[in-house]
Amino acid sequence: MVNNQQISEFINYNYTPFNKIQCIKRLFIIWITGAILSFLGKKIVLWLLLLGMVDLFISIMFITLIVRYSQFQIARYTCDGVFYLYMAVALNLAAYRVIAMQSGSNWWLAVILMSLLILCMSIFVYIVFFNIKSGSYSEKHISKRTVSLPCLGGIIGVFVARFLLPEQSQQEALTLLSYILLITSFIMCIPSINLLKVLLYKNYIKK
């Protein structure tokens, strides 16, 4: 059984205050990622509309965090969780779109790839709860993750593979790129566990 003290330790683990500038930068990254994803493959207008609505909703959320909730701990977790979840889903969809460039649209494949992402997140949530119960978050350990370079490399790789490589090499490169994007998607979903902190904060700490 997990107690309030263990939950509090998890919520406060490696906590850093909310940064408005960082939140704004992430908002730009979200819009740029959505635009690039929309232009991969066919049905560009449809993807632009769908991702545009999602990006607009996230923009309103982030602006609200900046204006009204920047002094609260929950703002940090919400910004981190939403950003990394968006990037994980976007990279997962990018992997599908790259595959579709070669073999055509297959929505069953998209469902399978997204299911793998959900499975990965579920396993990580289980691991987190196991660590909470075992008291693994009782001491603060400084850890720093750099995820910008893998994302940037994946984006650049799409255009390099699409326009600069010969046809045969291009197909091989796109296949490799789809694997890289998918794996990076799984890695990016890990920090989205901050959304679990939001849920636990509301149900246990805020009471």
Per residue of the chain (207 residues), give pLDDT as tens: 667 777 777 887 777 888 899 999 999 999 999 998 888 777 788 888 999 999 999 999 999 999 998 888 888 999 999 999 999 999 999 988 888 877 777 778 888 888 888 988 888 888 888 888 777 776 554 444 444 444 544 454 445 445 544 555 567 777 778 888 888 888 888 888 888 888 888 776 665
The pLDDT value recorded for residue 66 is: 92
Token duo for residue 51? 């991702």
Q: pTM for this one?
A: 0.80
The pLDDT value recorded for residue 147 is: 47
Q: Is 43 left (phi over 0), alpha (psi -120 to 50) or beta?
A: left
Q: Report yes or no: 162 and 170 within 8 Å, Cβ to Cβ.
A: yes
Q: Report yes or no: 66 and 20 within 8 Å, Cβ to Cβ.
A: yes
Token duo for residue 91? 């990279």
The pLDDT value recorded for residue 161 is: 44
Q: Report yes or no: 59 and 26 within 8 Å, Cβ to Cβ.
A: no
The pLDDT value recorded for residue 5 is: 77
Picking from 198, 154, 202, the residue whose alpha carbon sits closest to that of residue 176 is: 154
Picking from 53, 73, 58, 48, the residue whose alpha carbon sits closest to that of residue 27 is: 58
Helices (H) and strands (E) in the chain, counts: 8, 0
